[in-house]
Chains A and B, each alone.
Chain A
Amino acid sequence: MLKDKYGKEIEDILSRYPVTRSALIPLLYVAQRDQGYVTESAMQEIAHLLRLTPPQVYETITFYTMFNLKPVGKFHIQVCKSLMCALVGSDTVIEWIKTKLGIGPGESTADGLFSLSVVECLAACGTGPMMQINEDYYEQLTENKLDLILTDLRSTGTSPLKSGPFMWPEPVKT
């Protein structure tokens, strides 16, 4: 049960809104963090918590693209394919990933480590091609950088190549 595990956090979320339904998306994030995807029992529990019907939860969760209704790989790679990234080579990045990991969009590696999705604009158009892996952005991708990122993720679970607070172009001291 989410309530037993995240009781305090759930209470904090609920306290922010005068109407409880507003807490739906934040609570779905809690559920997704717990299991990597939103399970049916989590949806039912959230419906109960917010006094909604299960269909009300389901219609909302299926409207938004960021919720997984099925398990995904430990590292969920999402490559932007919108025009601005495509102009600077996002299709090539997708090909690299296909070759290196042997998976296409919507697929996961057999070891359950990586899943690939091709997504629309992630607001990093000036630093494309780019991808998001779980919560982190990786920008200005090159084949070499991609190799390093995948190696880092395999060995340590994270990569120092992820983006920090965004700024581009960066200031340079004279």
Chain B
Amino acid sequence: MAGTGEDVSSETLGEPGTPLFIVRLAFNDPMPKHELILLKNMMQPGYTGSLADYEKTGGYQALRNTLGKIAPADVTAIVRKSGLRGRGGAGFPTGVKWGFLPKDYQGPRYLCCNADESEPGTFKDRQLMERDPHQVLEGIVLACYAIGSETAYIYIRGEMVLGSKILEQAIGEARVAGYIGKNVLGSGINVDVWVHRGAGAYICGEETALLESLEGKRGLPRIKPPFPATHGLYNKPTVVNNVETLANLPHIVNRGPEWFAAIGSPPKSTGTRVFCVSGHVKRPGNYEVPMGMTVRELVYEYAGGMRSDKPLKAFIPGGASAPFLTPAHLDVKLDFEHVAAAGSMLGSGGVTVMEEGTSMVWAALRLMEFFYHESCGKCSPCREGSSWLVQTMRRIFAKRGRMEDLETLLDLCKNIAGRTVCAFGDAEVAPIQSTLKHWRHEYVDLINEAEAANLIRPEPVARR
């Protein structure tokens, strides 16, 4: 059992001799039984995230030890060796992504930090940026150095006004201290970092839509190929990395790729993940744990179990785009491969838990309404299909459905997934397909009620 506190040793929480803070959660259980990486600083009471605080914990040492001392290509090699994979959703190996940039290209290259965090169920980047902004900035400068970029844009979702102010302030501090700007730390390297606020479109978390939006256009995803690595921002070679991905970089550089690669579920899912637990649990929140932990342990030991002691009925392991799973999947390991093998995806790490008594048709409808609202409208299957899906779902949930609707839903899903420019099409069908697979009887019951009461008639078409 986690929570006994006996397995918390001083090695895992701090250098011997330094004040030891055993991080515990509110309520009673002491935590954690493994080392925190990304949340370690901010978990220390009194830590403000200022430059001085960050430097005290060894901040910007990775940058000092890298600029001009390790060749950019070697930094990429270190990251590749660490096995770090993108934390935004797709899980693409970061070092490999960097390696796709053309080596001999003369001209500007760009780094974009994807801080659009809009996936329902996910709220980790917000914490990383607002509580420890310099950790993210150091990662950004390291990545810029590795890929040879002199300009980085942090594309932060528009609603996070506080986050953008905190980042702006941190960038100001870092500029004064010489970590950002011209001739960083006397190395001759120039790196400028700018915060760019989005304006409330979920799709702008998709990397090519993000680039379009950053160019001042509507956030419509681009057809790939060409990939951003060759034709990205302003048609220049560009890397787009998630906040959490970048925040890992200083630690990988400081402590070596072998250290990182040994954490979690090697060889393919290395490092920790900040899982965002939400829904019907006692202690929702961000928990950083090594990848490969079971859902059961995360939900019952870290998040305190179910809030009303009703049994768990369903959970989503990786944000709204990931298919629902059942209690039978509680022992699935939270790493890229195991979650995929269970028929879902690790995605952005947003774990949403639902208790017995929650209508799965209602839950799928809520998510479908989200996707309907957020479809960017570029591809017909998604634009029109999301409208049909949401109407059919509303009809079934309002007890106005008929049995053929279930076939219609599956048929629509089949014709959306994989037929759109971006992965949004695959994402929007996930809630419906997975709830139909595991809880088909709930749909059938609602339709039977409708048929018994002879209530079948279409609902009026709703506006987006």
Contacts and interface: CB of A to CB of B under 8 A. Distances in A.
A150 interface: no
B96 interface: no
A168 B279 contact: no
A86 B369 CA distance: 12
Interface string A19-41: 10111111011000000000000
Nearest to A65: B200
Contacts of B422: none
A66 to B, nearest CB: 4
B131 interface: yes
A70 interface: no
Residue among B126, B199, B286 with the most chain A CB within 10 A?
A: B199
B234 to A, nearest CB: 5
Given A26-B197, A174-B24, A123 B117 contact: yes
B216 A167 contact: no
A119 B131 CA distance: 26
Contact of A64 (B119, B201, B358, B373): B201
A137 B162 contact: yes
Given A18-B234, A120-B373, A123-B123, A83 B320 contact: yes
Contacts of A67: 199
B194 A16 contact: yes
A92 B217 CA distance: 37
B347 interface: no
B276 A126 contact: yes
Nearest to B358: A87
Interface in B309-337: 320
A65 B376 CA distance: 12
Given A125-B278, A126-B284, A166-B123, A82 B30 contact: no
**Chain A interface SS verdict (over half):** loop
Contacts of A122: 159
B59 interface: no
B445 to A, nearest CB: 21
B406 interface: no
Interface residues of A, number: 51
B350 interface: yes
B213 to A, nearest CB: 7
A60 B218 contact: yes
A136 B162 CA distance: 8
Contact of B217 (A21, A23, A135, A166): A21
A65 B162 contact: no
Interface in B158-215: 158-163, 166, 194, 196-202, 213-215
B127 interface: yes
A123 B352 contact: no
A121 interface: yes
Nearest to A121: B120
B45 A65 contact: no
Interface in A95-150: 120-128, 132, 135-137
A166 B126 contact: yes
Interface residues of B, number: 71
A169 interface: yes
Nearest to B364: A83
B127 A166 contact: yes
A87 B285 contact: no
Contacts of A26: 196-197
Interface in A67-93: 67, 81-84, 86-88
A64 to B, nearest CB: 3
Contact of A168 (B198, B285, B367): B285
Contact of B279 (A25, A88, A164, A167): A88
Interface in B116-140: 117-123, 125-127, 130-131
Most B-side CB within 10 Å, residue of A26, A29, A87, A128: A87
B131 to A, nearest CB: 5
Contacts of A127: 123, 284-285
A83 B21 contact: no
Interface in B1-54: 21-26, 30, 42-45, 49
A43 to B, nearest CB: 13
A59 B366 CA distance: 28
B425 interface: no
A84 B279 contact: yes
B199 A166 contact: no
A170 B373 CA distance: 33
Given A123-B122, A171-B44, 9 more contacts: A83-B120, A84-B120, A84-B278, A120-B370, A120-B373, A123-B125, A125-B276, A164-B162, A167-B127
Interface of B: 21-26, 30, 42-45, 49, 108, 117-123, 125-127, 130-131, 157-163, 166, 194, 196-202, 213-219, 234, 276-280, 283-286, 320, 350, 352, 354, 358, 363, 366-367, 369-370, 373-374, 376
Interface of A: 16, 18-19, 21-26, 28-29, 50, 59-60, 63-67, 81-84, 86-88, 120-128, 132, 135-137, 163-174
5 contacts: A87-B278, A125-B278, A126-B278, A165-B162, A168-B284
